Protein backbone atom coordinates (compact mmCIF):
# COMPACT_ATOMS: atom_id res chain seq x y z
CA UNK A 1 0.00 0.00 0.00
CA UNK A 2 1.26 3.47 -0.84
CA UNK A 3 2.26 5.09 2.46
CA UNK A 4 2.81 8.82 2.89
CA UNK A 5 4.72 10.10 5.90
CA UNK A 6 3.01 13.27 7.13
CA UNK A 7 5.04 15.68 9.23
CA UNK A 8 5.74 19.35 9.93
CA UNK A 9 6.78 21.69 12.69
CA UNK A 10 4.59 22.43 15.68
CA UNK A 11 1.66 24.65 14.73
CA UNK A 12 2.01 24.03 10.99
CA UNK A 13 -1.35 22.30 10.70
CA UNK A 14 -0.58 18.58 10.48
CA UNK A 15 -3.75 17.64 12.35
CA UNK A 16 -5.93 19.86 10.15
CA UNK A 17 -4.42 18.37 7.01
CA UNK A 18 -4.82 14.82 8.31
CA UNK A 19 -8.51 15.40 9.04
CA UNK A 20 -9.10 16.60 5.48
CA UNK A 21 -7.29 13.58 4.05
CA UNK A 22 -9.35 11.29 6.29
CA UNK A 23 -12.60 12.94 5.16
CA UNK A 24 -11.57 12.19 1.58
CA UNK A 25 -11.20 8.51 2.42
CA UNK A 26 -7.52 8.08 3.26
CA UNK A 27 -6.48 5.98 6.23
CA UNK A 28 -4.58 8.03 8.81
CA UNK A 29 -2.33 6.56 11.49
CA UNK A 30 -1.18 9.16 14.01
CA UNK A 31 1.78 8.31 16.25
CA UNK A 32 0.77 10.99 18.78
CA UNK A 33 -2.66 9.36 19.16
CA UNK A 34 -1.03 5.97 19.54
CA UNK A 35 1.32 7.33 22.21
CA UNK A 36 -1.67 8.79 24.05
CA UNK A 37 -3.51 5.46 23.99
CA UNK A 38 -0.43 3.52 25.07
CA UNK A 39 0.04 5.74 28.13
CA UNK A 40 -3.53 5.67 29.42
CA UNK A 41 -4.15 5.07 33.10
CA UNK A 42 -2.99 1.64 34.36
CA UNK A 43 -1.31 0.76 31.05
CA UNK A 44 1.99 -1.17 30.98
CA UNK A 45 3.70 1.76 29.24
CA UNK A 46 2.57 4.17 31.96
CA UNK A 47 3.88 1.77 34.61
CA UNK A 48 7.26 1.76 32.84
CA UNK A 49 7.28 5.58 32.76
CA UNK A 50 6.47 5.78 36.48
CA UNK A 51 9.24 3.27 37.22
CA UNK A 52 11.70 5.47 35.30
CA UNK A 53 10.56 8.95 36.36
CA UNK A 54 8.76 8.36 39.65
CA UNK A 55 5.19 8.99 40.81
CA UNK A 56 5.71 12.74 40.37
CA UNK A 57 4.89 12.27 36.69
CA UNK A 58 1.31 11.32 37.60
CA UNK A 59 -1.70 13.50 38.28
CA UNK A 60 -3.73 12.94 41.45
CA UNK A 61 -6.22 10.77 39.55
CA UNK A 62 -3.48 8.41 38.39
CA UNK A 63 -3.29 9.66 34.82
CA UNK A 64 -0.04 10.79 33.24
CA UNK A 65 0.83 14.43 33.81
CA UNK A 66 1.52 15.01 30.13
CA UNK A 67 2.17 18.75 30.43
CA UNK A 68 4.58 18.28 33.33
CA UNK A 69 6.47 15.46 31.63
CA UNK A 70 6.64 17.45 28.40
CA UNK A 71 8.29 20.36 30.20
CA UNK A 72 10.74 18.01 31.86
CA UNK A 73 11.93 16.27 28.71
CA UNK A 74 12.35 19.52 26.79
CA UNK A 75 14.69 20.80 29.49
CA UNK A 76 16.47 17.49 30.14
CA UNK A 77 17.93 15.70 27.12
CA UNK A 78 18.76 12.56 29.10
CA UNK A 79 15.17 12.31 30.33
CA UNK A 80 13.93 12.74 26.77
CA UNK A 81 16.08 9.83 25.60
CA UNK A 82 14.84 7.62 28.43
CA UNK A 83 11.20 8.35 27.57
CA UNK A 84 11.84 7.67 23.88
CA UNK A 85 13.47 4.33 24.77
CA UNK A 86 10.27 3.30 26.53
CA UNK A 87 7.73 4.56 24.01
CA UNK A 88 9.24 4.47 20.52
CA UNK A 89 9.47 0.66 20.14
CA UNK A 90 5.89 0.27 21.41
CA UNK A 91 4.59 2.99 19.09
CA UNK A 92 6.30 1.55 16.02
CA UNK A 93 4.99 -1.91 16.80
CA UNK A 94 1.45 -0.54 16.97
CA UNK A 95 1.98 1.45 13.75
CA UNK A 96 3.02 -1.68 11.86
CA UNK A 97 -0.01 -3.52 13.19
CA UNK A 98 -2.42 -0.75 12.15
CA UNK A 99 -0.79 -0.45 8.73
CA UNK A 100 -1.36 -4.16 8.14
CA UNK A 101 -5.04 -3.71 8.97
CA UNK A 102 -5.60 -0.73 6.63
CA UNK A 103 -7.57 -1.32 3.42
CA UNK A 104 -7.58 2.02 1.63
CA UNK A 105 -5.72 2.83 -1.63
CA UNK A 106 -3.13 4.76 0.36
CA UNK A 107 -2.54 5.77 3.95
CA UNK A 108 -0.94 8.63 5.81
CA UNK A 109 1.43 7.98 8.67
CA UNK A 110 1.47 11.16 10.79
CA UNK A 111 4.76 11.50 12.68
CA UNK A 112 5.46 14.97 14.15
CA UNK A 113 9.17 14.19 14.59
CA UNK A 114 9.58 12.10 11.45
CA UNK A 115 13.00 13.47 10.50
CA UNK A 116 14.21 13.84 14.07
CA UNK A 117 13.60 10.22 15.11
CA UNK A 118 14.52 8.61 11.79
CA UNK A 119 12.48 5.60 12.89
CA UNK A 120 9.86 5.50 10.15
CA UNK A 121 11.72 6.03 6.89
CA UNK A 122 11.51 2.31 6.17
CA UNK A 123 7.71 2.37 6.36
CA UNK A 124 6.90 5.19 3.93
CA UNK A 125 7.14 5.76 0.17
CA UNK A 126 7.01 9.57 0.26
CA UNK A 127 7.20 12.32 2.88
CA UNK A 128 4.70 15.19 2.91
CA UNK A 129 5.66 18.26 4.95
CA UNK A 130 2.97 20.69 6.07
CA UNK A 131 4.67 24.09 6.12
CA UNK A 132 4.11 27.63 7.35
CA UNK A 133 6.39 30.41 8.54
CA UNK A 134 7.74 30.37 12.06
CA UNK A 135 5.72 33.34 13.29
CA UNK A 136 2.56 31.46 12.38
CA UNK A 137 3.81 28.36 14.15
CA UNK A 138 4.22 30.36 17.34
CA UNK A 139 0.93 32.26 17.15
CA UNK A 140 -1.11 29.16 16.27
CA UNK A 141 0.40 27.08 19.04
CA UNK A 142 -0.14 29.79 21.64
CA UNK A 143 -3.77 30.24 20.56
CA UNK A 144 -4.60 26.54 20.88
CA UNK A 145 -2.61 25.76 24.04
CA UNK A 146 -1.55 27.21 27.35
CA UNK A 147 2.08 27.43 26.27
CA UNK A 148 3.99 30.69 26.29
CA UNK A 149 5.98 32.00 23.34
CA UNK A 150 9.20 30.95 25.07
CA UNK A 151 7.87 27.42 25.59
CA UNK A 152 6.81 27.14 21.96
CA UNK A 153 10.21 28.35 20.80
CA UNK A 154 11.87 25.77 23.08
CA UNK A 155 9.85 23.04 21.38
CA UNK A 156 10.77 24.40 17.95
CA UNK A 157 14.43 24.37 18.97
CA UNK A 158 14.15 20.60 19.48
CA UNK A 159 12.84 20.15 15.94
CA UNK A 160 14.95 20.36 12.81
CA UNK A 161 14.93 23.81 11.16
CA UNK A 162 12.11 24.64 8.78
CA UNK A 163 14.46 24.90 5.80
CA UNK A 164 15.80 21.41 6.46
CA UNK A 165 12.30 19.91 6.70
CA UNK A 166 11.37 21.44 3.36
CA UNK A 167 14.62 20.27 1.78
CA UNK A 168 14.00 16.67 2.84
CA UNK A 169 10.34 16.61 1.77
CA UNK A 170 9.07 14.82 -1.31
CA UNK A 171 5.91 16.94 -1.24
CA UNK A 172 5.19 20.26 0.47
CA UNK A 173 1.76 21.39 1.65
CA UNK A 174 1.80 25.15 2.32
CA UNK A 175 -0.58 26.18 5.11
CA UNK A 176 -0.27 29.93 5.41
CA UNK A 177 -3.68 30.98 4.14
CA UNK A 178 -7.34 30.19 4.74
CA UNK A 179 -8.77 26.75 5.51
CA UNK A 180 -10.33 26.58 2.04
CA UNK A 181 -6.86 26.94 0.52
CA UNK A 182 -5.59 24.03 2.59
CA UNK A 183 -8.61 21.95 1.60
CA UNK A 184 -8.02 22.58 -2.09
CA UNK A 185 -4.37 21.62 -1.89
CA UNK A 186 -5.17 18.46 0.06
CA UNK A 187 -7.76 17.52 -2.57
CA UNK A 188 -5.10 17.95 -5.25
CA UNK A 189 -2.67 15.76 -3.35
CA UNK A 190 -5.38 13.20 -2.68
CA UNK A 191 -6.00 12.77 -6.41
CA UNK A 192 -2.28 12.52 -7.03
CA UNK A 193 -1.78 9.91 -4.32
CA UNK A 194 -4.68 7.85 -5.66
CA UNK A 195 -2.95 7.86 -9.05
CA UNK A 196 0.39 6.89 -7.49
CA UNK A 197 -1.29 4.11 -5.51
CA UNK A 198 -2.75 2.73 -8.73
CA UNK A 199 0.66 2.87 -10.40
CA UNK A 200 2.17 1.03 -7.45
CA UNK A 201 -0.52 -1.63 -7.59
CA UNK A 202 -0.17 -2.15 -11.33
CA UNK A 203 3.63 -1.91 -11.41
CA UNK A 204 6.51 -3.16 -9.36
CA UNK A 205 6.00 -0.70 -6.49
CA UNK A 206 9.32 1.00 -7.17
CA UNK A 207 8.07 4.13 -8.93
CA UNK A 208 9.03 7.21 -6.92
CA UNK A 209 8.21 10.52 -8.64
CA UNK A 210 10.52 13.48 -8.24
CA UNK A 211 10.30 15.70 -5.18
CA UNK A 212 7.21 17.93 -5.15
CA UNK A 213 5.91 16.38 -8.37
CA UNK A 214 2.47 16.00 -6.81
CA UNK A 215 2.29 19.77 -6.22
CA UNK A 216 3.75 20.92 -9.51
CA UNK A 217 1.27 18.93 -11.56
CA UNK A 218 -1.67 21.09 -10.43
Residues 147 and 126 in one domain: yes
d(CA 99, CA 118) in angstroms, rounded, equals 18
What integer pLDDT is reported at residue 216 of this predicted model? 33
CATH number, domain with residue 173: 3.40.50.300
Task: Give pLDDT, residue 209.
Answer: 54
Burial of 203 (0-12, 13-18, 19+ CB in 10 A): exposed
Its pTM surpasses 0.75: yes
Whether pLDDT at 207 is above 50: no
3-class DSSP state for residue 133? coil
pLDDT over 90 for what percent of the chain?
A: 76
- Pair 81, 143 in one domain: no
Q: Based on the domain organization, do 157 and 81 belong to the same domain? A: no
Say yes or no: 97 and 175 in one domain.
no
Query: Is pLDDT at 212 greater than 70 in this prediction?
Result: no
> Is 125 in the same domain as 21?
yes
**Cβ-count burial of 109 within 10 angstroms (0-12 exposed, 13-18 middle, 19+ buried)?**
buried
Residue 108, H or E segment: strand 106-110
Q: What are 79-89's pLDDT values in tens digits? A: 989 999 999 99
Domain edge (last residue) among 46, 76, 103: 103
Domain shared by 205 and 182, yes or no: yes
Task: Report how far residue 165's alpha carbon sits from residue 109's, in angstroms, rounded to the nearest whole number.
Answer: 16
Q: Are 5 and 95 in a shared domain? A: no
Picking from 114, 82, 81, the residue whose alpha carbon sits closest to that of residue 95 is 114
Amino acid sequence: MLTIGLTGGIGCGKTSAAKIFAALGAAVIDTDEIAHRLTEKSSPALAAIVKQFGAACLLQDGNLDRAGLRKRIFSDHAAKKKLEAILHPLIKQRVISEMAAAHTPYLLLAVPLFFETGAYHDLVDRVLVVDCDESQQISRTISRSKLSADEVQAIMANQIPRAERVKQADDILPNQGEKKDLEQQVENLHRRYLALALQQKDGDGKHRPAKNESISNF
